[in-house]
């Protein structure tokens, strides 16, 4: 390993500045934080998360970005092209201190093949969503997104709580492992099937899963007792979902919600019916085509059972793993009878300008996050699901790198939170400034027809003007850094998205900027959904005073 790759990067903490102001310091600290070994998956390669999502193109680029930020004045802006600093321009104090464009390619050239060719020449890098825009905060984001999805299910069908309900799902892997905790955080009971005993053990060890059942009968007995008592409980069950789900359907098991997070997007990672888990790897390597065929046929049985539960009245949805598409390829005609999770639950939140709002304490002191948690609870006392999340996150989420928090807030809420945090910095309630950002997976910042913009009401799934307008309005409103990326989440050629981060440094100028950025950024979500014809977005626009030119005759 080279000396460069052995470097351990960690953000500075405390109130001593490495840069000429807090706006630059915040970018400097968050760049370093993204590559903290506690945060990044492969920091030695500058890879933060999501396959090869990087924070900087190479080590010389990383060093040049850091050095330039240290010398950057309050009226200068650093330009970063796919992880490499390419210029510093004279701007003004309302302008962002950094502008980033990552992984963008012209339409006809937007393929993985061409991207990899250019990457090998050292001309670009894959920025994912929050890797190349320096606002990744670790796995808290996955847990919170899953929690929010189940909260939306609860709101839609079960009076706002999952207490007294049983969710049936499969897949306890890297991301799917968040499901049991997300269900119990919403008060419900979860039965989670996985064919790999080590995954079940790992989730129990990390306290994401409560218990393992001895067999199906034991799982159903445990679930019935907990459901009766309206007590949250998550139960791991060893087995093949393609076998267990049809069996449970046939015996009339009382299940309220069904979804799935097995790795169905890759048929070579889905265990076919009748195959021992121990033989899976060898069989997949020996004859991938035959394995794929068997896996797809098994997924068809799995999805058929999900449709059966739906016909019986259960709430059923696809959790973004392509299991419907694979079952369809195996010839199952009703595979798309149940919806994907974004159109089913998340889009109504997007219509309200809601999305994954997040912040990090530049002091490095967890007490600053505890103080902001209390402030959030005081600001939005009527929001029960938010209160439950903040309380449980405080108890159960371990920080990675700089202490941070995520929670979904909407139009008219994010600006209140930002202004309150800025006051807390000014008054000394917080020890140092706070950075406020979000995932690119937000209401008005992404065009991604396989995920965030699947099935838009007006068919505008692939229209990518919205994320570009989002980036421009954030620049015009005073964000501290703004980014435009291509290919995050679903891969090259499939998405265009934008990000913003705004720093609450306690100054009156920061208050003015925060008020605009944190109003206009979620405002893009409201207007994007009004434009696509969503009534809920039109109601929000009317109620909260978002001007819509075409609605005013
Ligand atoms: P992973 O590979 O870490 O885990 C998959 C799990 O499925 C493994 O534990 C495996 O043992 C299990 N499995 C495979 N076949 C099975 C079968 N027949 N029966 C029971 N268990 C089986 O993957 P991950 O990171 O947890 O992601 C899971 C899936 O969810 C992926 O397809 C991913 O793309 C998708 N995903 C979607 C979103 C989203 O859109 N919101 C978010 C996260 C993950």
Which ligand 1 atom is at minimum distance from the Cα of 193?
Answer: 20
Of 313, 339, 365, the residue that ends a domain is 339
Interval between CA 110 and ligand 1 midpoint (Å): 27
Tokens of 202: 């790992």
As for how many domains the chain has, the answer is: 2
pLDDT digits (tens, 9 = 90+) for 360-385: 999 999 999 999 999 999 999 999 88
pLDDT digits (tens, 9 = 90+) for 324-360: 988 999 999 999 999 989 988 999 999 999 999 999 9
pLDDT digits (tens, 9 = 90+) for 487-541: 998 789 989 999 999 999 999 999 999 999 999 999 999 999 999 999 999 999 9
Residues 160 and 270 in one domain: yes
Residue 101 DSSP one-character state: E
Minimum mean pLDDT range among 47-51, 70-74, 493-497, 517-521: 47-51
The DSSP secondary structure of 327-355, one letter per residue, reads HHHTT-TTGGGS-BHIIIIIHHHHHTT-E
407 catalytic? Reply is: yes
Q: What is the CATH number of the domain that holds 193?
A: 3.40.50.10730
Compute φ and ψ for 265, nearest 5 degrees. Answer: -65, -20
254 and 166 Cβ atoms separated by less than 8 Å:
yes
Query: According to the model, what pLDDT value does residue 2 have?
Result: 64
Question: CA-CA distance, 508 to 459, in Å (whole number)?
Answer: 43
Beta bridge partners of 258: 168, 316
Residues 332 and 371 in one domain: no
189 and 154 Cβ atoms separated by less than 8 Å:
no
Residue nearest to atom 41 of ligand 1 (CA): 320
Axis-axis angle for helices 178-185, 384-396 (nearest 10): 130
Of 304, 339, 374, the residue that ends a domain is 339
Domain annotation covers residue 128:
no
| Residue-number span of the structural domain to which 447 is assigned | 356-551
Q: What is the CATH number of the domain that holds 373?
A: 3.40.1770.10
Among 552, 528, 535, 328, CA closest to 448: 528
Residue 117 labeled ligand binder: no
Residue 271 DSSP one-character state: P
Residue 50 labeled ligand binder: yes
Interval between CA 154 and ligand 1 midpoint (Å): 23
Residue 271 labeled ligand binder: yes
Among 488, 412, 259, 442, CA closest to 347: 442
Element (H, E) at 391: helix 384-396
Tokens of 301: 């049985």
Per-residue confidence band for 210, with pLDDT thresholds at 50, 70 and 90: very high
Q: What is the ipTM of this complex?
A: 0.97
Q: Probe ligand 1: pick from 49, 147, 171, max atoms within 8 Å of CB?
A: 171
Residues 286 and 403 in one domain: no
Residues 303 and 449 in one domain: no
Residues 235 and 303 in one domain: yes
Among 234, 175, 176, 170, CA closest to 207: 234
Residue 397 DSSP one-character state: P
Compute φ and ψ for 43, nearest 5 degrees. Answer: -60, -30
Interval between CA 176 and ligand 1 midpoint (Å): 6
Residues 283 and 410 in one domain: no
Residues 385 and 276 in one domain: no
pLDDT > 70 in the chain, percent? 99
Element (H, E) at 129: none
Measured CA distances, 69 to 24, 30, 56, 362, 510 (Å): 6, 12, 14, 16, 19
**Catalytic-role residue among 19, 192, 195, 407:** 407
Domain annotation covers residue 304:
yes
Single pTM value for the model: 0.85
Per-residue confidence band for 202, with pLDDT thresholds at 50, 70 and 90: confident
Residue 240 labeled ligand binder: yes
Which ligand 1 atom is at minimum distance from the Cα of 177?
Answer: 26
Residues 217 and 152 in one domain: yes
Q: Hey, is 54 helix, strand or coil?
A: strand
Interval between CA 231 and ligand 1 midpoint (Å): 27
Residues 319 and 444 in one domain: no
pLDDT at 49 over 90: no
Residues 539 and 467 in one domain: yes
Residue 399 DSSP one-character state: P
Domain annotation covers residue 276:
yes
Tokens of 176: 């799917």
Residues 335 and 361 in one domain: no
Question: CA-CA distance, 129 to 26, in Å (whole number)?
Answer: 18
Which residues have C-beta atoms less than 6 Å from ligand 1?
A: 170-176, 193-196, 199, 240-242, 261-265, 269-271, 319-321, 451
The DSSP secondary structure of 460-484, one letter per residue, reads -TT--HHHHHHHHHHHHHT-SEEEE
Longest dimension (CA), the chain: 70
How many other CB atoms sit within 10 Å of the CB of residue 166? 25
Per-residue confidence band for 268, with pLDDT thresholds at 50, 70 and 90: confident
Residues 449 and 522 in one domain: yes
The rounded mean pLDDT for the chain is 95
Among 138, 134, 166, CA closest to 150: 166
């Amino acid at each position: 390993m080279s000396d460069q790759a052995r470097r351990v990067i960690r953000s500075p903490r405390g109130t001593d500045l490495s840069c000429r102001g807090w706006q630059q310091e915040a970018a400097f600290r968050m760049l370093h934080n993204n590559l903290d070994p506690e945060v990044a998956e492969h920091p030695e390669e500058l890879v933060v998360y999501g396959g090869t999502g990087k924070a900087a193109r190479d080590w010389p680029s990383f060093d040049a970005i850091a050095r330039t930020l240290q010398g950057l004045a309050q009226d200068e802006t650093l330009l970063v092209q796919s992880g490499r600093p390419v210029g510093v321009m004279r701007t003004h104090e309302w302008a962002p201190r950094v502008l980033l464009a990552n992984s963008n390619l012209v339409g006809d050239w937007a393929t993985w093949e061409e991207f990899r060719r250019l990457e090998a020449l050292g001309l670009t890098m894959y920025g994912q969503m929050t890797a190349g825009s320096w606002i990744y905060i670790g796995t808290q984001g996955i847990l919170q997104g899953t929690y929010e999805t189940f909260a939306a299910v609860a709101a839609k069908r079960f009076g706002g709580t999952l207490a007294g309900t049983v969710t049936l799902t499969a897949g306890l892997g890297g991301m799917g492992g968040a499901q049991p905790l997300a269900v119990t955080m919403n008060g419900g009971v979860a039965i989670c099937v996985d064919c790999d005993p080590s995954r079940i053990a790992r989730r129990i060890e990390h306290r994401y899963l409560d218990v393992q059942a001895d067999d199906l009968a034991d799982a159903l007995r445990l679930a019935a007792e907990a459901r009766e008592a309206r007590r949250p409980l998550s139960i791991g069950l060893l087995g093949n979902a393609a076998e267990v789900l049809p069996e449970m359907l046939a015996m009339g098991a009382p299940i309220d919600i069904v979804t799935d997070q097995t790795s169905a997007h890759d048929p070579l990672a889905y265990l076919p019916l009748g195959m021992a888990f121990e033989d899976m790897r060898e069989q997949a390597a020996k004859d991938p085509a035959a394995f794929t065929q068997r896996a797809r046929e098994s997924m068809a049985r799995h999805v058929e059972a999900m449709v059966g539960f739906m016909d019986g009245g259960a709430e059923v949805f696809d959790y973004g793993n392509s299991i419907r598409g694979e079952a369809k390829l195996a010839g199952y005609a009703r595979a798309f009878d149940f919806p994907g999770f974004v159109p089913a639950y998340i889009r109504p939140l997007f219509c309200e300008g809601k999305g994954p709002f997040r912040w990090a304490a530049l002091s490095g002191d967890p007490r600053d996050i505890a103080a902001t948690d209390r402030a959030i609870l005081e600001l939005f006392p009527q929001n029960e699901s938010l209160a439950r999340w903040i309380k449980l996150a405080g108890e159960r989420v371990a920080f990675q790198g700089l202490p941070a928090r995520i929670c979904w807030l909407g139009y008219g809420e994010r600006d209140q939170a930002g202004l309150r945090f800025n006051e807390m910095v000014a008054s000394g309630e917080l020890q140092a400034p706070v950075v406020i950002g979000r995932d690119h997976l937000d209401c008005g910042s992404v065009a991604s027809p396989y995920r965030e913009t699947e099935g838009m009401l007006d068919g505008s799934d692939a229209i990518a003007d919205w994320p570009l307008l989002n980036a421009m309005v954030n620049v015009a409103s005073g964000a501290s850094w703004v980014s435009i990326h291509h290919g995050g989440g679903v891969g090259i050629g499939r998405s265009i998205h934008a990000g913003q981060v705004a720093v609450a440094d306690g100054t009156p100028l920061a208050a003015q900027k925060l008020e605009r950025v944190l109003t206009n950024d979620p405002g893009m979500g409201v207007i994007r959904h009004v434009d696509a014809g969503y009534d809920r977005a039109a109601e929000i626009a009317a109620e909260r005073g978002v001007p819509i030119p075409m609605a005013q005759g």
